[in-house]
Structure 1
Amino acid sequence: MESKSEAARPDLYLIASEDTVYEQDVLRDPHSIKPWLSYIEFKQQEGTMFEQAFVMERACKQLPRSYKLWKMYLEFRIKHLRGRNPSIHRAEYLKVNALFERAVILLNKMPRIWEMYLSFLLQQPMVTQTRRTFDRALRALPITQHNRIWKLYKAFAYSASGDTAVKIWTRYMQVHPENAEDFIEILVQMGHYTEAVNRYMEILDNPRFQSKNGKGDFQIWSDMVDLIVSKARDVEAGAQTAIDVDKIIRSGIEKFADQRGKLWAGLATYWITRGNFEKARDVFEEGITTVMTVRDFTMIFDSYVEFEESIIGNLMEAASERLEKGKIDENADFDLDLRMLRFEQLMDRRPFLVNDVLLRQNPNNVIEWSKRVALWGDNKQEIVQTYTNAIAAINPKKAHGKFHELWVNYAKFYEQGGDLDTARVIFDKAVKVPFKTVSELADTWCEWAEMELRNENFDRAVEIMAKATQSPKRSTVDYFDETLSPQQRIHKSWKLWSFYVDLVESVSTLEETRKVYERIFELRIATPQTIVNYANLLEEHKYFEESFKIYERGLDLFSYPVAFELWNLYLTKAVDRKIGIERLRDLFEQAVDGCPPKFAKVLYLMYGDLEEERGLARHAMRIYERATRAVSDEDRFEMFNFYITKSASNFGLTSTRPIYERAIAALPDNEAKEMCLKFAEMERRLGEIDRARAIYGHASQFCDPRVNAGFWQKWEAFEVQHGNEDTFKEMLRIKRSVQAKFNTDVNFIASQAIARSKQLAEEGVHEGEEDEKERVDAMAALERQARAPLGFVPASTGPEGGNRPKPVDGDQPTQASAVAANPDAIDLDEDMD
């Protein structure tokens, strides 16, 4: 290719005769780009490379600020060198570089020219010139165009590597600080670990920094710690100013409370990487004794164990090598034994360390303090110290668990050791503790008394309970008043008084026991169980009247439903004692007076049974009659049955008629139907057929033939056995009228439709299956009609009359035809007449 001077000279050998037209166009309009473009296009098709370069060179000189001509010329020259080694063809590359220099002087605001020049320089081994050209481009172009240059500049920095890359990225970071993570990645790849750590600290100290990769503060912090730990020696060696790694990681431990385990383990690993094993061991110890969660503790402890195992493993390998060589090193063997002992001690400490973690989480956790006591086994000194620490640390109002059990177990520890005096001192302190609930304080007093009982100090146990239950003569304290301390409310604790009264009953006299019971009544804390126990106590000592008075006092205190149980016991015992009948009647009258219906049944049955045994049957019947009005709806049918049975057994079947009548009037339809059937059956047995038929007729109004088919079957059987043709027809007429009534009752139809849909859903009957079922029902109806009772003569007319052949004059209907006829047809014929 020609030099610049040769290309600029219009040598005749580069201008052919065919170029004359284009030369004239260029001379005619020298300041227009169009003739030059036409000329260049022609040369691209017909001319050689030298001719093309010659024309482009002349065009660029003629129009030096034409971006289009320069771009075309530069691309042409770059294409000519594509694929050629820049070292072998260095001279040619320098010519193109010079051409680019001419272009950027004239077109220094054109970013595309700079990009082409820089991309071309990146192909050549000229680091300094390339870097300076990048700087010139950044200075020449406006800042809005810098991103196009930085894209190439960063690629150049990555290829140049070393300090050059760091300086380029440092400059880039001044403009684009949001790309700090990319810079850190480059620094790590190039081995500039100290600079990477410093950059990490800069972005962590910048509250406005937002990771373009979506990383949070902890993730960035974690990446920095991982780098520090893995490259600990390089970071320390490359730091011009000391980097306090220990302080950095500890600040992270304070900031990220939920990641303390990982950060403690990282700090220890840093010192291990540095080779400072004792410092690492101190960090591990500090970590497992300060973390607040079991997860963090497990993470640190596992790292600690792994660290100790690796050291012991290395020492054992060294000892094995010495043994093979026949060398003996007592110091090394002693060091190995010491480390083995330390490792065993660490593993033995693990349950205590876990317990420490849980207690640091909640020092008021009574359960964990109890576990800690159990961990010490037979170490009495540590057990006592643990109890002391627990009592000092736990806030009674915030205790998690039963705090009183800790005090009790503390006292039992001394009791088992035979030191009752110390145990009593502990209990004396325990009963003064402001527990969360009165129940805990009551349990403490009871445990104290039980300790004395176990050691056969019965009088002392009674004294303790007497002291626990001390109270003013008239106490106005509310047991549930949380504003008062448990000590102020303890005298109204039923649990405490129950234990006290049982204790006094077992070791003292009846009079003392009665005094305790009376005191319970005075404090108004008696329960139904108190009433029963007190009454049973007096009954055991043959004070029957006194026990009855206790029941009466209890009935004054409690209303239903508690009063029902007391009445039940009281009346049972009174009847068994066979006291006067008048007095018993008075008691029963009191019991049933105001008794809720659901409890009345039992009391009335007891009352009636009493009258039957000791009174008059007439009185018993009156009581049963009252019971049928007093009991609940669920019990009324059963009560009427019982009343009827008793009346029949005492006064005969005829006496039950008014009872049946009242029952039928009082009971709901479904139960009234059942009562009517029983009433009719009784009248049938008495031979009162008309009365029974009338009862069936009355009950029919409750019984839809589609639902209560059983009732109509019984009536039909009754008429077949005891009726005649007229009564049977009357039954059929009633049946049809009842069915018509239910068919026109809107509410009934709706309820039956709902009931039928539910039944079909339960049986899984589909629409087609339902039709089949109706057909089967129709066939069964025809069969029932065919089985009509003998002796009935069907009418010859009616719905079926026209379809049946008429008998010849003088002929009589056969028995078979009479049987096959529909009994309903008789009734229809009668209606037509």
Structure 2
Amino acid sequence: MAPPGAAADSTDSGPTVQQLEDLLPSDEDLLYEEELLRNPYSLRMWWRYLEARRDAPPKRRYLLFERALKSLPGSYKLWHAYLKERQAAVRGLPITHPTVDALNNTFERALVSMHKMPRVWLEYAEFMVGQRWLTRTRRLFDRALCALPITQHDRVWQLYLKFLMQPGVPAETALRVYRRYLRLEPLHAEEYIAYLKTKGKWGEAARKLAELVNDDTFKSLEGKSKHQLWLELCDLVTKHPADCAALRVDAILRSGIRKFSDEVGRLWTSLADFYIRQGLYEHARDVYEEGLQTVTTVRDFSLIFDTLTQFEETLIAHRLSTADADEEEEDAPADDDGADALLCDDVNDIDLRLARLEHLMERRPELLSSVMLRQNPHNVHEWHKRVKLFEGQPRKQILTYTEAVTTVDVIKATGKVHTLWTAFARFYERHGDLENARVIFEKATQVAYRYLDDLATVWCEWAEMELRHKQFRRALDLMRRATAAPELLTRRQDAAAEERAGPVQGRLYRSSRLWAFYCDLEESLGTLESTRAVYDRILDLRIATPQIILNYAAFLQARLAAQEHKYWEEAFRVYERGVALFRYPHVKDIWAAYLAHFVARYKGTKLERARDLFRQALDQAPKEEARPLFLQFAALEENHGLARAAMEVYDRAVRTVPEPERLAIYERYLAKASEFFGVGKVREIYETAIEAAEPNHLPDADCLKMCTRYAALERRLGEVDRARAVLVHASSLADPRVDPQFWADWNEFEVAHGNEDTFREMLRIRRSVAASFSQTHFNTAGTTVPDAAGPPTATVEAGSAEVAERGRGDDMAALEAAADAAGGTRLSGFVSAGVIQPEAPGEGAAPAALAVPAVTANPEDIELEDVDEMDEEGEAGADEAAANIQLEEKAVPEAVYGAAGGGDAALGALERFKKKQRTGDT
């Protein structure tokens, strides 16, 4: 029995003998055939049979597949392998070949049982797409969508859409299919819109895009925002107005303008462009004007204005080119009159267009000002700028001022609202209309300003206007009216709370600015009593400022200087009330003026009262403000009081003023002490200044300066030991690296007044101080000293080598070591008293013992053993030790002392030096 579809695979001539033999089973197939006879429904046996006959002719294999599928029509594995093999066989054949049609029939037979298998549908559909049968392929896809479950449709639609994109597919067919697809996948609408654009379906694309824009649930798969979709829609409808005529383009764009404020300018220009493309130029111009009147940003305004300007220029250029072309084409002899009329109309039309463009350019500042005010209608500065734009147009300026004062909200205002009212009133004043200016000021005083100073400024401006026009009485009446206190409630706290919660008009009588202006008016125009009454009222209300106190006192001093002396007390009483009202730093100027005028007035006649005033001022003054008061107090005592009292003032000053200012006080203190009391008092002050304890402690730098000056004073007085003690006291404050001048002065002092031991002590102190500041350990244990038994020349050479080895480290130590090695003094010009070694009495002692000291273990050590013993054992022990030492007296050569005198003088100096050593007075 022939298998299904065999007729489609045969040819007209029928099979040959060889073909029939190939179709018959061979001896090798008997085993598989016997098995299949026993179990024809075994998929494994059929598959093994097919695998074993992989190299068989195609028709033999097709026959085996057909027999297997007849027994197992529901086997996907057999159908898939069969179809794959048939597809491979027809690859490369034309679509008109019978084998291709036979494969289509095989797919159809497979779908009878495999209609739920999407792979079979997809392979069949892909095969049909390649054959370019449009209707059959579309129907195949429709059948697949009907047969497969909804969860498998996405696989079919991918191939279906690919088929629609092929050339030759009718656009209407594709649109219908795409609409069906969007019912399943509405989020893929952007693909549909893109396809419509490629096909030129602008109206359909705009309609679909409008739906997406209005759909709040739509989310773009391409990541586009609603804003971007709006802009895309605007571009679409404006560039293709004819295709989008069915849409309400104007409503769409205006809706976008309301929704998206950051692209208002572009949307307005798009709407105007829509009308321009339709040839409706007047409508486009109206749209531009509407946009200029509604935008709120400078960027949008600039975009619309520039586009409108370009539009007008384009129209003018087009009109000029059209007029030139018409003029060239016209036949002048035939239509002379008509040409002249047409040319005249053209010229008039061009002039009108040019005038319109010029008017537009002139309106730009005004339109830009409107934009700024639409951004913030409560911007006072912008209203002032708008008024300046209409300079020379009084009517527009009045309208602008009127609109400003009615629009600006005091609470939301940016800037000072009262400046609008005052500028409005001054506008009427400049034009000579004082009545209207007064009306404006009257209304301005009723505005509920945020700050009291704004209302006070309005009243002051009103009064100044009256003064400029010589209306002095009106100005005073205005000030009396403004400063009149309202009726207070019975309880004071309720009245204060009501003032704070109410408008500023209820607190106007407390404005210090208003009262200050009122005082100026009374001083200039009023009487003495009226002026004093105003000042006293300010003091009673406790709203006076330090400047008002000073002005009041200066007014009384100027008016009452020629009166009786008792009126001076009125000015001082004002000062007293001022210092009672204020604290530092506000009272500083009041005290300064009070004390200066009191001292200048009474000098020394009321000294005790002046002292009380100064003490009271110093008690109130902080440390930072006390110095000038102390200096004034001391000057008072110096000029009219006692020198001892002046010293007490200076002594209190150095304990009170801050540390940075104490040195200046001390300098003045010392100068006055030297002038009044002499050196004893000066020494006392110096000793007090250099003490480390509070309250008169000086900073280290200032203390060092004081010590240096104290030492210089003692040196001038010949008190060398006292000067040296001061320098020793100050040495702990002088870092040799920072204050080298101190050590240079001490060095000079020792050269002039000291000896070798004091010079050694100065060097030791210097190294100690340097070590304490630098935190460096000086180790001198490794110093090599030449043998004492060696010759003197070797000793000097060894000392010189040691100096050369350490020379760059410490110049003073190197100088000292060199001096020790040489056996003489270390300082040029410094004459040493020498060190005499004890030896047996006799007359043959060498004179060199007076000049050459004993060699010690370390040349830099300072041998003060006798002095240390005297410090430990006391004065009695020192005398006893000195008595036990046998000294041989020798005449000192004159060359040692030079011009100091003869031998007797040298012996006297030596005796004095020995006495100092015994008593320890070095």
TM-score bucket of the superposed structures, by smaller chain: 0.7 to 0.9
Residue 476 of structure 2 corresponds to which residue in structure 1? 462
TM-superposed CA distance for 1:39, in Å, is 6.8
Matched letter for residue 353 of structure 1: L
Residue 900 of structure 2 corresponds to which residue in structure 1? none
CA distance in 2, matches of 1:668, 1:261: 73
- Tell me, yes or no, if structure 1 residue 445 matches structure 2 residue 459: yes
User: Which whole-Å deviations, capped at 9, do the CAs of 1:258-287 have from their partners, x for residues lacking one?
Assistant: 333332322222222333333333333322
TM-score by length of 1: 0.84
Q: 1:827 aligns with which of 858, 863, 884?
A: 863
TM-superposed CA distance for 1:708, in Å, is 6.2
Residue 717 of structure 2 corresponds to which residue in structure 1? 686
Q: 2:517 aligns with which of 499, 503, 515?
A: 499
Residue 652 of structure 1 corresponds to which residue in structure 2? 678
| Contact 2:316/2:350, CA 8 A, preserved across alignment | yes
Structure 1 window deviating more from structure 2 (89-98 vs 329-338): it is: 329-338
Q: Is the alpha carbon distance of 1:594 and 1:35 closer, same or farther for their aligned partners in structure 2, counting shifts above 3 Å?
A: closer
Structure 1 window deviating more from structure 2 (246-255 vs 51-60): it is: 51-60
Q: Is the alpha carbon distance of 1:816 and 1:536 closer, same or farther for their aligned partners in structure 2, counting shifts above 3 Å?
A: farther
| Contact 1:470/1:491, CA 8 A, preserved across alignment | yes
TM-superposed CA distance for 1:131, in Å, is 0.6
Q: 1:401 aligns with which of 400, 410, 415?
A: 415
CA distance in 2, matches of 1:579, 1:17: 151
- Tell me, yes or no, if structure 1 residue 778 matches structure 2 residue 810: yes
Q: Is the alpha carbon distance of 1:821 and 1:791 closer, same or farther for their aligned partners in structure 2, counting shifts above 3 Å?
A: farther
| Contact 1:729/1:827, CA 8 A, preserved across alignment | no
Matched letter for residue 618 of structure 1: R
Q: 1:488 aligns with which of 487, 502, 506?
A: 506
CA distance in 2, matches of 1:110, 1:775: 107
| Contact 2:484/2:509, CA 8 A, preserved across alignment | yes
Residue 222 of structure 1 corresponds to which residue in structure 2? 231
Q: Is the alpha carbon distance of 1:729 and 1:62 closer, same or farther for their aligned partners in structure 2, counting shifts above 3 Å?
A: closer
User: How do 1:510-549 residues align onto structure 2 when only pairs under 5 Å count?
Assistant: 510-543=528-561, 544-549=568-573
Q: 1:154 aligns with which of 144, 147, 161?
A: 161
Matched letter for residue 691 of structure 1: R
User: Which whole-Å deviations, capped at 9, do the CAs of 1:17-42 have from their partners, x for residues lacking one?
Assistant: 99724543453234456676677667
| Contact 1:441/1:486, CA 8 A, preserved across alignment | yes
User: How do 1:127-138 residues align onto structure 2 when only pairs under 5 Å count?
Assistant: 127-138=134-145
Residue 71 of structure 1 corresponds to which residue in structure 2? 80
User: How do 1:584-595 residues align onto structure 2 when only pairs under 5 Å count?
Assistant: 584-595=610-621
State the secondary structure of the residue aligned to 1:418. coil
User: How do 1:223-622 residues align onto structure 2 when only pairs under 5 Å count?
Assistant: 223-236=232-245, 239=246, 243-326=247-330, 327=339, 328-329=341-342, 334-471=348-485, 482-543=500-561, 544-583=568-607, 584-622=610-648
CA distance in 2, matches of 1:480, 1:103: 98
TM-superposed CA distance for 1:620, in Å, is 2.4
TM-superposed CA distance for 1:154, in Å, is 0.6
Q: Is the alpha carbon distance of 1:516 and 1:97 closer, same or farther for their aligned partners in structure 2, counting shifts above 3 Å?
A: same
The two structures, once aligned, show a CA RMSD in angstroms of 3.8
- Tell me, yes or no, if structure 1 residue 191 matches structure 2 residue 200: yes
Q: Is the alpha carbon distance of 1:140 and 1:669 closer, same or farther for their aligned partners in structure 2, counting shifts above 3 Å?
A: closer
Q: Is the alpha carbon distance of 1:18 and 1:125 closer, same or farther for their aligned partners in structure 2, counting shifts above 3 Å?
A: closer
User: How do 1:620-639 residues align onto structure 2 when only pairs under 5 Å count?
Assistant: 620-639=646-665
Matched letter for residue 225 of structure 1: C
Q: 2:151 aligns with which of 125, 144, 154?
A: 144
TM-superposed CA distance for 1:64, in Å, is 4.4
Q: 2:688 aligns with which of 624, 638, 662?
A: 662
User: Which whole-Å deviations, capped at 9, do the CAs of 1:137-161 have from their partners, x for residues lacking one?
Assistant: 1222233322221111111122224
| Contact 2:292/2:301, CA 8 A, preserved across alignment | yes
TM-superposed CA distance for 1:779, in Å, is 5.2
CA distance in 2, matches of 1:542, 1:110: 121
CA distance in 1, matches of 2:23, 2:92: 34
CA distance in 1, matches of 2:467, 2:854: 96
User: Which whole-Å deviations, capped at 9, do the CAs of 1:731-762 have from their partners, x for residues lacking one?
Assistant: 6676788789x59xxxx969xxxxxxxxxxxx
TM-superposed CA distance for 1:214, in Å, is 1.6
Q: Is the alpha carbon distance of 1:730 and 1:365 closer, same or farther for their aligned partners in structure 2, counting shifts above 3 Å?
A: closer
State the secondary structure of the residue aligned to 2:411. helix
| Contact 1:404/1:444, CA 8 A, preserved across alignment | yes
Q: Is the alpha carbon distance of 1:119 and 1:736 closer, same or farther for their aligned partners in structure 2, counting shifts above 3 Å?
A: closer
| Contact 2:816/2:860, CA 8 A, preserved across alignment | no
TM-score by length of 2: 0.77
TM-superposed CA distance for 1:129, in Å, is 0.9
Query: Sequence identity of aligned pairs in percent?
Result: 42
TM-superposed CA distance for 1:491, in Å, is 1.8
Q: Is the alpha carbon distance of 1:57 and 1:695 closer, same or farther for their aligned partners in structure 2, counting shifts above 3 Å?
A: same
Structure 1 window deviating more from structure 2 (382-391 vs 723-732): it is: 723-732
Q: Is the alpha carbon distance of 1:683 and 1:481 closer, same or farther for their aligned partners in structure 2, counting shifts above 3 Å?
A: farther
Structure 1 window deviating more from structure 2 (342-351 vs 58-67): it is: 58-67
State the secondary structure of the residue aligned to 1:235. coil
Which has a greater percent of helix? Answer: 1
State the secondary structure of the residue aligned to 1:461. helix
| Contact 2:23/2:59, CA 8 A, preserved across alignment | no
CA distance in 1, matches of 2:768, 2:82: 117
Q: Is the alpha carbon distance of 1:722 and 1:452 closer, same or farther for their aligned partners in structure 2, counting shifts above 3 Å?
A: same
TM-superposed CA distance for 1:681, in Å, is 2.6
CA distance in 1, matches of 2:275, 2:834: 117
Q: 5+ residue gaps in structure 2?
A: 331-338, 562-567, 777-805, 820-825, 838-844, 870-922
State the secondary structure of the residue aligned to 1:826. coil
| Contact 2:834/2:850, CA 8 A, preserved across alignment | no
State the secondary structure of the residue aligned to 1:289. helix
Kindly name which structure, 1 or 2, has the bigger radius of gyration based on alpha carbons: 2
| Contact 1:581/1:615, CA 8 A, preserved across alignment | no
TM-superposed CA distance for 1:726, in Å, is 5.2
CA distance in 2, matches of 1:734, 1:194: 105
Structure 1 window deviating more from structure 2 (127-136 vs 633-642): it is: 633-642
Q: Is the alpha carbon distance of 1:590 and 1:138 closer, same or farther for their aligned partners in structure 2, counting shifts above 3 Å?
A: closer
Residue 676 of structure 1 corresponds to which residue in structure 2? 707
User: Which whole-Å deviations, capped at 9, do the CAs of 1:447-495 have from their partners, x for residues lacking one?
Assistant: 1122222222233222222322223699977699652322222222122
| Contact 2:271/2:287, CA 8 A, preserved across alignment | yes
Q: Is the alpha carbon distance of 1:715 and 1:124 closer, same or farther for their aligned partners in structure 2, counting shifts above 3 Å?
A: same
**What is the count of residue pairs matched by the alignment?**
786
CA distance in 2, matches of 1:672, 1:530: 44
Matched letter for residue 405 of structure 2: I
User: How do 1:198-209 residues align onto structure 2 when only pairs under 5 Å count?
Assistant: 198-209=207-218
State the secondary structure of the residue aligned to 1:233. coil
CA distance in 2, matches of 1:85, 1:336: 70
CA distance in 2, matches of 1:786, 1:594: 64
Q: Is the alpha carbon distance of 1:66 and 1:607 closer, same or farther for their aligned partners in structure 2, counting shifts above 3 Å?
A: closer
Matched letter for residue 505 of structure 1: E
Q: Is the alpha carbon distance of 1:301 and 1:711 closer, same or farther for their aligned partners in structure 2, counting shifts above 3 Å?
A: closer
Structure 1 window deviating more from structure 2 (524-533 vs 23-32): it is: 23-32
Q: Is the alpha carbon distance of 1:820 and 1:249 closer, same or farther for their aligned partners in structure 2, counting shifts above 3 Å?
A: farther
Residue 793 of structure 2 corresponds to which residue in structure 1? none
Q: Is the alpha carbon distance of 1:499 and 1:125 closer, same or farther for their aligned partners in structure 2, counting shifts above 3 Å?
A: same
Matched letter for residue 309 of structure 2: V
CA distance in 1, matches of 2:209, 2:836: 115
Matched letter for residue 638 of structure 1: A
| Contact 1:197/1:228, CA 8 A, preserved across alignment | yes
User: Which whole-Å deviations, capped at 9, do the CAs of 1:113-146 have from their partners, x for residues lacking one?
Assistant: 2222211211223211111111111222233322
| Contact 1:479/1:489, CA 8 A, preserved across alignment | no
User: Which whole-Å deviations, capped at 9, do the CAs of 1:365-386 have from their partners, x for residues lacking one?
Assistant: 2222222222222122221122
